[in-house]
Amino acid sequence: MKTPTIPMSEPTTQPEPVTQPPKAVRRPLSELLPTGGMRVFAAAAMLALAAGSFARYGLGGKGLLGAVFCPTLVLLAVIDLKHRLLPNAIIGPAIVVVGVIVAVSAPHDFLGHLAAAAALGGFFFAFAAIFPGSLGMGDAKLGFLLGLALGAKTLGAALIAFAGLLVAALWVLATRGVSSRKDAIPFGPFLALGGILTFFLGS
């Protein structure tokens, strides 16, 4: 006599859940602003540069341009130095304000400034796209801001920035050894330095 058998279905394997890569968290601007002693330094430098711009160029359009442009560069440099980030919440409004000041105070030069902004910002954008990890989109936007504010003097600011970056890279290599060759150096502070020096040293 045969024992009845109950057919058993083979266990079905459950598909493993697909893990999505973590999304980049956009940090609020309040977390990026300098604190402590760095806040005091940044505030003092920003006030000094704003006053220096009016003292150097008067109360007209160029003095106002420097009073907006140079303190913005200081704030961006401090943030980039610590967080390796150039926030859109600062660069975006600065581009709008600088563009309006240039358009109103020097309308005959506005297209030249816009062309310089597109040239430097576009160059940084292309460089970042061709060589990932070299420059960021924040650097491209900052380059656009520099060109918009400086116009024909933009090239001088870019050369100062690249020279400063080269000196910093050689210093890091000399002090930390060959193992530091892959260490990331923020470009924002050097762009800020080039922009400020060019603005005040130019005619």
Residue 132 corresponds to which tokens in the numbers above?
């990932």
Q: What is the DSSP letter of 199?
A: H
Total domain count for the chain?
A: 1
179 located within any domain: yes
Residue 191 corresponds to which tokens in the numbers above?
């762009």
Q: What is the mean pLDDT of each run of 10 residues along the chain (203 residues)?
A: 51 50 62 86 96 94 96 96 91 96 94 96 91 85 96 94 90 72 80 95 76
Residue whose pair of structure tokens reads 């460089």 in the numeric block: 127
| Positive or negative: CA dihedral 128, 131, 132, 134 | negative
59 located within any domain: yes
Q: What is the pLDDT of residue 18?
A: 47
76 located within any domain: yes
11 located within any domain: no
Which range marks the domain in which residue 66 is found? 33-201
190 located within any domain: yes
Backbone torsion region of residue 19, taken as left when φ is above 0, otherwise alpha when ψ lies between -120 and 50, otherwise beta: beta
Q: What is the pLDDT of residue 45?
A: 96
74 located within any domain: yes
The answer to whether the pTM exceeds 0.85 is: no
22 located within any domain: no
Query: For residue 42, which amino acid is it?
Result: A
